[in-house]
Amino acid sequence: MESVKVIGAGLAGVECALYLANHGVKVKLYDIKPVKLTPAHSSTNFAELVCSNSLKSNDIYGNAAGLLKEELRLLGSKVIEVADRVKVPAGNALAVNREAFSSILTEMVKSNENITCVCEEVLSVNQDEWTIIATGPLTTGALYDNVCELTLSKLHFFDASAPIVSKESIDMNSAFVGDRYGKGNGDHINCPLNKEEYETFITELTNAERAKLHNFEKKEVFEGCMPIEIMASRGKDTLRFGPLKPTGLDDPKTGRWPYACLQLRREDEEGSMYNLVGFQTNLTFGEQKRVFGLIPALKNAEFLRYGVMHRNTFINSPEILNEDYSLKTNGKIFFAGQITGVEGYVESIGSGLMSAIYCLKKLKGEKINPIPNETVLGALAKYITTKNCDFEPMNANFGILPALKEKVRDKALKKRLQAERSLETVKQFVKENRI
């Protein structure tokens, strides 16, 4: 069996390397550590957790991140196994001792007889070699240029993104469907505000708490999309001539344009998720829920993805990747981790494990269908590989899962049923494919 080259020893790359090596594949794991560190890293160990020691919720039936971790456990994730071993008290979240976490994983990698660690900066990809590219959101230099050539597209710099809410949580008594000047196919939901509502919103928005940026991000993040809170601070009417412009939007209740109006744009084919148009933000998650909830139509909104703002580099996955994370133009080259457009630590681990599973099957000449999108793993892969003209990274959330066959009004019960379906689907996938 041929060997596999894994580029990058972050969470995704380590998961890839360990899975393949433990199934008898010779792996060469390339990483620039310990000779050189990226601006986001401080440790010489692999699988470093940079921003937080929390791997999000462990709630299997109420939180998609918790469900995703349970899917990974069923599939034999070594990274999640170690996280469970070194967890520290954090309520319902899976928080870990970061130093112990990365130290154990580094030792597991270096002591595995099937893994050769190469401390070297990879400058280009050999298209004749089995390769998994897991270089993360800070891919730079010659490899960045080579990946651009390989994918026939420029990598995106993701500076600030807008939140996404579930369709069923939007108060349609305070909203209306329609496109500006009646032009379009009714893909927008409009959320009007009167003068008093608008002025209260602006006051709270400009005074809301913002998330801290890393030093290496501060210079670059404002070169792209300007955060909504910065825009609002430039004058109380700035948003009425920008993202909250009411021009051309006739409110059926009044027959006139509102004083201000937020547009929500359909985010998926099913119309179960809507993006807050123009609301790129760096507010903390709690403040996003509080402040954006001041818009009447969003008073009970369920946020499937909060807005985030950080430096990130990712490929145009909908155009170039298959659901098995391989290139459409070269089935021997796979991508994994945040470079694919999955957002978050656990999501990166998941893409790393799945790309390794698919790669192994191809190496053995065995057929395997992608894991069904009734699972979080499958739904994420489908999301990042489905055509989307405004493609942005996505984290695990229940909104990307297909609807249940039966209509369930109770949100908690609905999530539980989706989770139960997901876990049964993973078990069946494992059994059918001898994972």
Full DSSP string of 161-213:
---EEEGGGS-GGG-EE--GGG-SSS-EEEEEE-HHHHHHHHHHHHHS-BPPP
pLDDT for the residue 223: 43
Query: CA-CA distance, 178 to 183, in Å (whole number)?
Result: 8
Give first-to-last CA distance, the chain, whole Å. Answer: 18
pLDDT for the residue 222: 46
Highest mean pLDDT among 145-154, 179-188, 403-412: 403-412
Whole-structure pTM value: 0.78
As to burial, measured by CB atoms within 10 angstroms (0-12 exposed, 13-18 middle, 19+ buried), residue 219 is exposed
Structure confidence by residue, pLDDT tens digits, 268-325: 777 889 999 989 898 999 999 999 999 999 999 999 989 887 667 889 999 999 999 9
Share of the chain above pLDDT 90, in %: 70
Question: What would the DSSP string read from start to end of 335-391?
Answer: E-SGGGTB-SHHHHHHHHHHHHHHHHHHHTT---PPPPTTSHHHHHHHHHHS--TT-
CATH assignment, 4-158+312-433: 3.50.50.60
Query: CA-CA distance, 11 to 355, in Å (whole number)?
Result: 13
| Band of pLDDT at residue 93, cut at 50, 70 and 90 | confident
**Distance from the Cα of residue 160 to its chain's centroid:** 13
| Band of pLDDT at residue 266, cut at 50, 70 and 90 | confident
For the chain, give every domain's residue range. 4-158+312-433, 174-305
Structure confidence by residue, pLDDT tens digits, 29-71: 999 887 666 655 567 899 998 655 579 899 999 999 999 999 9
Structure tokens at 422: 């997901």
Structure confidence by residue, pLDDT tens digits, 210-260: 887 655 445 444 444 678 998 999 899 999 999 999 999 999 999 999 999
